[in-house]
């Protein structure tokens, strides 16, 4: 009997010890989880963005929308979502706002229509998807992700891209959804500058938008998640009064968008022809991988040496494999922001 009691006491002691150890392990795992770094960085376009061009109300509107976009992406990452999802949903916020030249706020081409481009890339697999020259897809970045996930291609364009998106039931809008009075007036001014005869007819609506049109617009996001995977995406309406059918850098992988877990993720903004000619986004990755430059050094070289030497304008945002964030631009401003799991957060508009 005594022997049996000793066995029972030993068994209970063992169980208590095991529970205590399990508790320590669970606590350790929880601590490690909370310390896994994650972050995202966004931009809403670079260009001639000066304080004197902005009313206080306009600046507040931009800062609030940048904050909203940050919060959406950060929440996804904080809750162990993927970098790809964070990039997509963050860009959706900016595409749905008339403040930025993407989605609803897209500028008019020379025919008085919207033609939008977008791309997204997974740094883990190097898989990517893009659409170019689409007109009625509400969120082009969603179509780009669909191309990545549901085809063996990288880029679909025009009517083919739109038909593909319809097959997967993406949301479409009619042309009136994308119309904004301020963008229309920008087109008229550009045509007047070039001496063109204005024959465009649209259905003007009076809108109370707080949009600054002294800029080159695009929106973009780069994120790194708790699994240390990087993703990048870019969406744009292109350039005001651009030729019908013109495609910029935003849907070109390696030019306007690039992500590689070995190096970094990049999204570009500005006059896309220069980012295409320099393969700006991929060039930053190359400088990090083969020249051992820091992200900040690589961005500075591409913007202020390679793009500058061609007379180009614009900017780049980036995030490296360690979660370090940087940006650079050669214009007077760029809508930009970032947030890290360390609690660090920055929202900026003008050049310092």
Distance of CA 137 to the CA centre of its chain: 17
- List residues bridging with 303 in a β-sheet: none
Instruction: Give the domain ranges of the chain.
Output: 1-35, 37-350
Residues in Cβ contact with 271 at an 8 Å cutoff, skipping those fewer than 6 apart: 216, 239, 312, 313, 314
**Cα 226 from Cα 36, distance rounded (Å):** 6
Whole-number average pLDDT of the chain: 88
Q: For the chain, what percent of residues have pLDDT higher than 70?
A: 84
Average pLDDT over residues 80-104: 97
Sheet holding 257-259, edge to edge: 257-259, 264-270, 314-320, 325-329
CATH class of the domain comprising 37-350 = alpha beta
Asked if 218 is an active-site residue, the reply is: yes
What is the SS3 assignment for 64? helix
**What local confidence, expressed as pLDDT, does residue 191 receive?**
87
Catalytic residue (choose from 82, 90, 180, 218):
218
Over 90: is that where the pLDDT of 14 sits? Answer: no
pTM of this prediction?
0.86
Tokens of 253: 């992988």
Over 50: is that where the pLDDT of 254 sits? Answer: yes
Cα torsion angle, 99, 222, 91, 186, sign = positive
Beta carbons of 326 and 296 less than 8 angstroms apart: yes
Beta carbons of 119 and 251 less than 8 angstroms apart: yes
Long-range CB contact pairs, 324-328, < 8 A, 24+: 324/294, 324/295, 325/39, 325/41, 325/295, 326/294, 326/295, 326/296, 326/299, 327/41, 327/43, 327/299, 328/296, 328/299, 328/300, 328/302, 328/303, 328/304
Tokens of 270: 């500005």
**What local confidence, expressed as pLDDT, does residue 24 receive?**
47
**What local confidence, expressed as pLDDT, does residue 189 receive?**
87
Query: E strands along 279-324, which residues?
Result: 314-320
Average pLDDT over residues 30-44: 75
pLDDT in tens, 121-160: 999 999 999 999 999 999 999 999 999 999 999 999 999 9
């Amino acid at each position: 009997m005594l022997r049996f009691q000793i066995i029972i006491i030993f068994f209970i002691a063992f169980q208590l010890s095991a529970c205590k150890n399990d508790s320590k392990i669970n606590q350790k795992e929880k601590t490690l989880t909370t310390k896994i770094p994650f972050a995202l960085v966004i931009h809403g376009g670079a260009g001639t963005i000066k304080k004197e061009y902005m009313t206080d109300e306009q600046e507040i509107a931009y800062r609030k929308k940048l904050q909203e976009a940050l919060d959406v992406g950060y929440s996804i990452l904080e809750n162990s979502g993927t970098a790809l999802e964070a990039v997509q949903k963050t860009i959706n916020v900016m595409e749905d706002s008339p403040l930025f030249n993407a989605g609803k706020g897209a500028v008019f081409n020379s025919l008085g229509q919207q033609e939008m481009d977008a791309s997204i890339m997974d740094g883990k697999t190097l898989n990517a998807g893009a659409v170019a020259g689409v007109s009625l897809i509400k969120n082009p970045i969603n179509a780009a992700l669909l191309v990545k996930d549901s085809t063996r291609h990288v880029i679909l364009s025009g009517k083919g891209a739109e038909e593909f998106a319809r097959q997967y039931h993406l949301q479409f809008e009619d042309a009136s959804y994308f119309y904004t009075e301020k963008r229309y007036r920008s087109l008229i001014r550009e045509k007047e500058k070039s001496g063109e005869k204005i024959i465009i007819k649209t259905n003007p609506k009076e809108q109370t938008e707080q949009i600054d049109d002294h800029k080159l617009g695009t929106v973009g996001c780069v994120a790194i998640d708790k699994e240390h995977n990087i993703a990048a995406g870019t969406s744009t309406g292109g350039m005001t009064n651009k030729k019908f059918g013109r495609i910029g850098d935003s849907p070109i992988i390696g030019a306007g968008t690039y992500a590689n877990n070995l190096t970094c993720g990049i999204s570009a903004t500005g006059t896309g022809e220069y980012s295409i000619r320099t393969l700006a986004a991929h060039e930053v990755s190359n400088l990090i991988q083969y020249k051992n430059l820091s992200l900040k050094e690589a961005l500075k070289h591409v913007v202020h040496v390679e793009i500058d030497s061609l007379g180009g304008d614009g900017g780049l945002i980036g995030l490296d494999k360690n979660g370090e964030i940087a940006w650079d631009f050669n214009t007077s401003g760029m809508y930009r922001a970032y947030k890290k799991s360390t609690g660090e957060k920055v929202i900026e508009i003008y050049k310092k």
